[in-house]
């Protein structure tokens, strides 16, 4: 047996694979078609639906993980050794020696990958990545590619909803403790791409190159109380240790009767010593009400700009509710609502890193074409549900911007089609035969190609990027997204269409595939 570290590395590397990818690969190998050029696509079918509301868009994340995985992993001796030990139901070896020899020699680096870069706004039913290469190699990549994209795009999307809900105030990711074990680092990175301002998870902050955030928890106050020094003693100790970063958690005993008065006393002492205190954190109770009452006490004591961090079970809906309540109630306590909101920050933990309400994205990886005699033959799966029937063929993806500069539609067309140059564009609904419309080129300000080369000729074309790049893409795309699509509740449905040419190919391929079983 190889040592545990090596086994774990293999389990997150070449063996991060569903067994059926490998049995299919062996079948391709046995049939002599394993190196036939094939084309797969990655997309998701529908936006996360949190029950109370559904997202109107997603934020692409996970590409860096895919590229890194391709770069780092191959079927090494650890992986091959394990596969050699597997048996079929007749107790013979499941995998043959010639296949395992091929597997050990092949490289994921021989694949080619185009993808929509991280941070971009992306939509359901749109091709997000195209993968070409030897059939068996591209097949095996499926599990690892989906494992990277699915979770990270989901979390980036949730983070974007949270950030939008927070009206531009900082949102701090606090979720690692209830996050998915070692998946939390990737989830945190995705949250940072999607709109989280920072994170409490030190390692993820290091990897992303952002400053981690955090001050103290209840246990510090409890410890000081058990030692007879009380909450005030705890706050004074914190101020001594962090005079220039003093942010106090005020709800261990009683927020308004104990925490706030003690905090004000310590803040006053700090200011007298020439240090400006940072603020307070509220982690339980009626957060909007307590924020207003806290602002009241802080303002009265001359601490008018100190941050008030809110945390405890927050998500985009809770933040929306809190801000609405502050809008309505603050004035009644002599507190200016806008000024209070301007000093808020939100700690969003568990519900962000687990995408509470909808913990998975229905992303898929589908064979769309096989190359025969130098040209791509479309491949299709016909499903009982029309929306699950794969659109076949070699595609391009463009985004149309209207004369206001807002994204009007994403359009899938055939590779090589001149979409930008056409005077009129017939756009078909991906499924419904009766839904189509014609767009005048003059109504379109710009046609933007969305897929970019990510891995070609054995090497990375994209990244590793500093986190500011995907963050910048998101900011730019959000500004170009219709406010109706951006909104939290009942967003408009963003248009995703096929060109007439691609639509016709889909109809033809489905029809001829229907004959497949009659051969």
Of 453-492, which residues contact a copy of itself (CB under 8 A)?
A: none
For a copy of itself, which residue of 45, 49, 77, 206 counts as binding (CB under 8 A)?
206
Does the footprint of a copy of itself cover residue 8 (CB under 8 A)? yes
Minimum CB–partner distance for residue 43 and a copy of itself (Å): 14
Contact call for residues 38 and 98 (beta carbons, < 8 A): no
Minimum CB separation of residue 63 from a copy of itself in Å reads 13
Name beta bridge partners: 346.
171, 310
Considering only residues 98, 203, 302, 466, which one is a binding residue for a copy of itself as defined by CB under 8 A?
Answer: 203
What is the closest distance, in whole angstroms, from the C-beta atom of residue 38 to a copy of itself in the complex?
A: 7
Pairing of strands 198-199, 436-440: unpaired
- Determine, following the binding rule CB under 8 A, whether residue 6 of this chain makes contact with a copy of itself: no
**Which residues, 90 to 129, sit near a copy of itself by CB under 8 A?**
90, 92, 94
The residue (of 299 and 463) whose beta carbon lies closer to a copy of itself is: 463
Cβ proximity to a copy of itself, 501 vs 513, nearer residue: 513
Segment interacting with a copy of itself (CB under 8 A) among 293-301, 383-391, 394-402, 451-459: 383-391
Q: How far apart are CA 413 and CA 415, in angstroms?
A: 6
Phi/psi of residue 348, nearest 5 degrees = -120, 115
Closest to a copy of itself by CB, 317 vs 369, is 369
Residue pair 390/368 in contact by the 8 Å Cβ criterion: yes
Total residues interacting with a copy of itself, rule: CB under 8 A = 144
The stretch near a copy of itself (CB under 8 A) out of 111-119, 206-214, 292-300, 329-337 is: 206-214
Question: For the chain, how far is it from start to end, CA to CA, in angstroms?
Answer: 48
- Report the C-alpha gap between 377 and 307 in whole angstroms: 60
Residue 264 or residue 411: which is nearer to a copy of itself going by CB?
A: 264
- 287-300 vs 260-272: helix crossing angle, rounded to 10: 40
Q: Which of residues 395-434 bind a copy of itself (CB under 8 A)?
A: none
- Please report whether residue 30 would count as binding a copy of itself according to CB under 8 A: yes
Q: If 0-12 CB within 10 Å is exposed, 13-18 middle and 19+ buried, where does residue 490 land?
A: exposed
- By CB under 8 A, residue 339 contacts a copy of itself: no
Q: Is 33 a binder of a copy of itself (CB under 8 A)?
A: yes
Q: How far is the CB of 479 from a copy of itself (least distance, A)?
A: 29
Q: Does 268 bind a copy of itself (CB under 8 A)?
A: no
| Residues of this chain, 351-370, that bind a copy of itself according to CB under 8 A | 351, 354-356, 359-363, 365-367, 369-370
Q: Environment class of residue 321 by beta-carbon count within 10 Å: exposed (0-12), middle (13-18) or buried (19+)?
A: middle
> Strand 495-499 relative to strand 407-414: parallel, antiparallel, unpaired?
parallel
DSSP string, 141-195: HHHHHHHHHHHHHHHHHHHHHHHHHTTT--EEE--GGGS-GGGHHHHHHHHHHHT
CB of 489 to a copy of itself, least distance (A): 19
Q: Residue 105 or residue 226: which is nearer to a copy of itself going by CB?
A: 226
Residue 60 or 148: the one with the smaller Cβ distance to a copy of itself is 148
Nearer to a copy of itself, 168 or 228 (CB): 228
Q: Which listed range, 27-35, 111-119, 335-343, 421-429, lies at the site for a copy of itself (CB under 8 A)?
A: 27-35
Paired with 41 in beta bridges are: 130, 366
Query: From CA 515, how far away is CA 511, in angstroms rounded?
Result: 7
Identify the residue among 132, 160, 165, 252 touching a copy of itself (CB under 8 A).
Answer: 252
Q: Which is nearer to a copy of itself, 29 or 450 (CB)?
A: 29
Q: Which stretch binds a copy of itself (CB under 8 A): 84-92, 291-299, 424-432, 465-473?
A: 84-92
Q: Under the criterion CB under 8 A, does residue 228 sit at the interface with a copy of itself?
A: yes
Q: Which residues contact 346 (CB under 8 A, 6 or more apart)?
A: 162, 166, 169, 170, 171, 172, 309, 310, 311, 314, 319
Shortest Å distance, C-beta 131 to a copy of itself? 12
d(CA 64, CA 477): 19
348 binds a copy of itself per the rule CB under 8 A? no
Residue 60 CB, shortest distance to a copy of itself, in Å, is 15
Phi/psi of residue 469, nearest 5 degrees = -70, -55
Candidate residues 52, 77, 324, 383; the one interacting with a copy of itself per rule CB under 8 A:
383
Do residues 201 and 212 make contact, with C-beta atoms less than 8 angstroms apart?
A: yes
52 lies in the site for a copy of itself, by CB under 8 A? no
Site for a copy of itself in 138-197 (CB under 8 A): 139, 142-143, 146-148, 150-152, 174, 176-187
Pick from 84, 125, 118: which is nearest to 101 by CA?
84
Q: Does 201 bind a copy of itself (CB under 8 A)?
A: yes
- Return the closest-CA partner of residue 400 out of 414, 411, 391: 411
230 close to 242: Cβ distance less than 8 angstroms: no
């Amino acid at each position: 047996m190889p040592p545990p570290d090596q086994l774990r590395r293999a389990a997150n590397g070449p063996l991060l694979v569903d067994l059926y990818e490998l049995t299919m690969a062996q079948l391709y190998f046995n049939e002599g078609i394993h190196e036939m050029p094939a084309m797969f696509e990655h997309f998701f079918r529908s936006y996360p639906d949190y029950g109370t509301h559904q997202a109107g868009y997603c934020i692409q994340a996970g590409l860096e993980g895919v590229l890194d995985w391709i770069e780092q992993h191959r079927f090494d001796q650890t992986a091959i050794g394990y596969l050699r030990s597997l048996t079929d139901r007749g107790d013979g070896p499941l995998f043959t020696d010639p296949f395992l020899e091929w597997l050990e020699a092949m490289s994921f680096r021989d694949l080619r990958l185009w993808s929509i870069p991280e941070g971009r706004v992306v939509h359901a039913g749109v091709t997000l990545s195209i993968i070409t290469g030897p059939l068996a190699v591209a097949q095996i990549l499926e599990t690892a590619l989906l494992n990277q994209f699915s979770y990270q795009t989901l979390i980036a999307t949730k983070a974007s909803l949270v950030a939008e809900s927070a009206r531009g105030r900082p949102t701090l990711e606090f979720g690692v403790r209830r996050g998915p074990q070692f998946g939390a680092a990737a989830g945190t990175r995705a949250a940072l791409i999607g709109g989280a301002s920072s994170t409490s998870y030190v390692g993820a902050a290091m990897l992303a190159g952002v400053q981690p955030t955090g001050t103290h928890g209840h246990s510090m106050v409890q410890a000081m109380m058990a030692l007879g020094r009380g909450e005030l003693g705890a706050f004074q100790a914190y101020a001594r240790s962090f005079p220039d970063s003093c942010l106090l958690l005020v709800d261990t005993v009683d927020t308004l009767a104990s925490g706030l008065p003690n905090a004000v006393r310590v803040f006053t002492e700090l200011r007298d010593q020439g240090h400006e205190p940072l603020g307070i954190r509220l982690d339980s109770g009626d957060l909007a009400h307590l924020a207003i009452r806290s602002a009241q006490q802080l303002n009265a004591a001359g601490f008018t700009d100190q941050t008030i961090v809110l945390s405890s079970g927050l998500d985009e809906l809770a933040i929306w509710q809190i801000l609405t309540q502050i809008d309505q109630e603050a004035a009644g306590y002599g507190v200016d609502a806008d000024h209070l909101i301007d000093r808020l920050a939100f700690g969003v933990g568990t519900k962000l890193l687990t995408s509470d309400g909808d913990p998975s994205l229905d992303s898929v990886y589908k064979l769309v074409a096989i190359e025969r005699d130098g040209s791509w033959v479309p491949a299709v799966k016909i499903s009982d549900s029309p929306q699950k029937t794969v659109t076949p063929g070699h595609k391009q993806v463009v985004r149309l911007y209207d004369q206001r500069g807002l994204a009007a539609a994403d359009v899938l067309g055939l590779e090589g089609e001149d979409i930008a140059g056409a005077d009129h564009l017939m756009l078909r609904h991906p499924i419904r035969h009766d839904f189509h419309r014609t767009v005048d080129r003059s109504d379109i300000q710009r046609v933007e190609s969305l897929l970019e080369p990510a891995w070609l000729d054995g090497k990375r074309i994209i990244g590793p990027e500093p986190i500011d790049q995907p963050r910048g893409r998101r900011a730019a795309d959000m500004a170009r997204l219709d406010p109706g699509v951006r909104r939290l509740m009942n967003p408009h449905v963003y248009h995703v269409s096929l060109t007439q040419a691609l639509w016709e190919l889909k109809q033809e391929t489905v029809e001829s595939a229907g004959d497949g079983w009659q051969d």
